[in-house]
Structures are given as structure tokens and as C-alpha cells.
Structure 1
């Protein structure tokens, strides 16, 4: 697959994003860390979590895709629109009378969620270590850590938010494929996250059928 931009152009997008928006990216990281810790401690902040995820997707759509990535890839306009759609869906989930619950239990599903969410928070440091030095590196608020953080919290949602997983799952394929072509090793986790989501959904459906039989 041939990308419509060079690796240098791709890295220059991160330089522009990081230089202009680093205070907002740091603030988003801090808020996300605090929210995750509160969920792990059993705090009922369900609406806050869904609305935070909505902010993540709106931010990645507007501040990354529209504002910067579109300058080297026309498809970023489509990507940004899809990200805004996911933001609206998550915002609606957070404003409903009975919002989705986010809880942590000692189950494999919830532990997978924690690992993905923690990886997303560690993403900026990992990218600076394994990909490129700052500011030529993806940091927080860009699509890939946004997707990983979201999927991680989906694994901790009750009832599970799998009806909203189509767009994050799509990005695990798009972002994961681009990561392979560009050698962004930190984004290889997207492909793993996609496999985990599909495996869980299939296993859940099989279990439902067995229970109904």
C-alpha cells in the first residue's frame, strides 16, 4: 500500500502539533490519568468517563486530523469526520438518563482494559524512546493513543460499550496498517487491540448461544 505522504512529512505533522498544542495535550493526559485512577478505585464517575472519551475523539478529529494531518493527507478530512461521529456517540452515551457504567473487577476482561488504558497513558514516553525524539513523535491526543485508551475503557464498561466499538475497531486497522508501513512500533499495539476486541465479541456471542441452547 502506497501512502500519499512521505515519512518526513508525517513526522513534520507531529512537530507542528506538539509545538502548538503541547499544553492541551498535557492537560488531557493528566485528566485521563486521574479519571482512570478514580475508576480503578471504584468511584462512580460514569458520565465523566463517557464525556472524557467524547473529548478525546473530538480533539483527535479537530486538533489532529483537521488542523494538521489534512495538510498531507486528504483522507484526514474523512477521518476527522468519523472521529467526530464517535465523539457524538460517546457524548450521547454519557448524557443518557442511565449512563454506561465503568467499573474495575478482577476479571480477564477488566485486566485487559487496564493494560490497554495504561499503555495509552505511557504512549508518549514509549514513542519518544522507541520511535523518534520529541517533537518528531506522536504524543497524547493523537488518534492511536486515543483509540487504545477508549478500547481499554470499553473493556471495563458495564454493559459493555461494544455497540460503539465499530469506529475504534476501524482505526485499529487503519492506524495499525500505517504503523507497519511507517515503522511506528508503538502503534503496533493497535493491531493487538483489534484482535482482542474481535476475539472477545466472538467469544461473547458463542457463550450467548451456548447459554440459550
Structure 2
């Protein structure tokens, strides 16, 4: 498969993005930490707040990265931007407006997988990137597609059943798209997207079989 850009151009987009939006990366990381804490210590408004955070992250992906930067080297970025914005709007619609998304940490295999994905996205992914020789501003920081997608699927692993499958669809789609970078561009840390895809497909296939039930959780 031939890409319309080189590896240097790919990392050059990261550099341009990081330099232009600094220090927004810290704000996005803070949002991710807040969402993680809300899931670990749920409140009545955890679903609304966590959904709002996921919506912000995906709108950011579409507008502040794909459209504003990645489109300069890849025409498909316009489609990626549209899909990301749709994903963000779904989180806002289903979780904030309709209040159909709730999140809670439990002693289940699904929650364990979620914790692993969140830790990978926030800690292992940047550490692996640095080990691979990428330093800031060439570093794929949180808020860029792949670490954000892995984090999102991790958070979705804590969904309380029943939940709408539409909230899971876009992150799973991006897992399948983004994982290609691990092979075509040598971004080995993006292999984490394959694990996220496996978890996401499970969420799509079994939306009502969680050990946590919306009306029966402790």
C-alpha cells in the first residue's frame, strides 16, 4: 500500500501540531485524568462528565488535528476529520443530552482490559515513543489519534450495560485504520490499537451481557 506522504512528513505534522497548540496537550491529558478518576470513583454525574470529555477529545481530533494539520499531507484527512467529529457528537448526544452512557469500574475482565488500555495510552504509549527515539515536538502526544483512541476504548470498557453501540463504532473504526501505522510507518506503539480493537469489537458484539447492569449495580 502506497501512502501519499513519507515517514518524515508524518512526524513533521506531529511537530507542527505540537508547536502550534502548546500547552493544550496538558489540558487534554488533564481531561483524560479527570475522566479516569470519575470512572474509578463514580458520582451521579459521572456519565455526563465522562461523555463530555470524550466528546471534546474527538472533536479536537477531527478539527484541531486532522483538518488543521494532517490534511496538509493526506487528502483522506478530511474524511478522518468528519468521522472524528461524528464520533464526538455521538458522545455528546448519547452521554450528555440523552444520558445513556454511564461508566463504572468493576472486578470484571472487561474492566481489567479497560484499565490496561488507559494505562497504556497515558503512560506506556509516550514512554514507548521516547524509547523509539522520538522526542518532543516530534512525539505523538495525547490528543493525537492513536493514544486518544486507545484511551477512549479503555474508558468505554467501563460502560454500564445496556448502552448504545453507536458510541463504540467510531473508536473501533479508528483502531482498524490507525493500526496500519504500526506496519506501514513503523510506529510499533500503535500495535496497542489491535488490542483496543479486540476490546471494542467485544463491546459492539455484547452490549447487554456486562456483569454491571445499570439498574443492579452496587
Aligned to 1:94: 95
Q: Kindly tell me: are residues 198 and 31 of structure 1, through their superposed partners in 2, closer, same or farther at Cα, counting changes over 3 Å?
A: closer
Deviation at 1:95, TM superposition (A): 2.2
Q: Does 1:186 align with 2:186?
A: no
Give runs of ≥4 in structure 1 deviating > 6 Å: none
Q: Identify the structure with the greater helix proportion.
A: 1
Deviation at 1:35, TM superposition (A): 2.2
Q: Kindly tell me: are residues 81 and 98 of structure 1, through their superposed partners in 2, closer, same or farther at Cα, counting changes over 3 Å?
A: closer
Q: Kindly tell me: are residues 87 and 136 of structure 1, through their superposed partners in 2, closer, same or farther at Cα, counting changes over 3 Å?
A: same
Query: What are the ranges of 5 or more consecutive residues in structure 2 without an aligned counterpart?
Result: 211-218
Deviation at 1:177, TM superposition (A): 1.0
Query: What are the ranges of 5 or more consecutive residues in structure 1 without an aligned counterpart?
Result: 209-213
Partners of 1:173 and 1:190 within 8 A in 2: yes
Q: Kindly tell me: are residues 32 and 199 of structure 1, through their superposed partners in 2, closer, same or farther at Cα, counting changes over 3 Å?
A: closer
Deviation at 1:97, TM superposition (A): 4.5
Question: Would you say how many aligned residue pairs link Structure 1 and Structure 2?
Answer: 207
Aligned to 2:198: 195
Considering only aligned residues, what root-mean-square deviation do their CA atoms show, in Å? 2.0
Question: Normalising by the residue count of structure 1, what TM-score does the alignment of the two structures yield?
Answer: 0.89
Q: How does 1:131-142 map to 2 (within 5 A)?
A: 131-142=133-144
Question: Normalising by the residue count of structure 2, what TM-score does the alignment of the two structures yield?
Answer: 0.87
Structure 2 distance, partners of 1:113, 1:39, is 11
**What secondary structure sits across from 1:132 in the alignment?**
coil
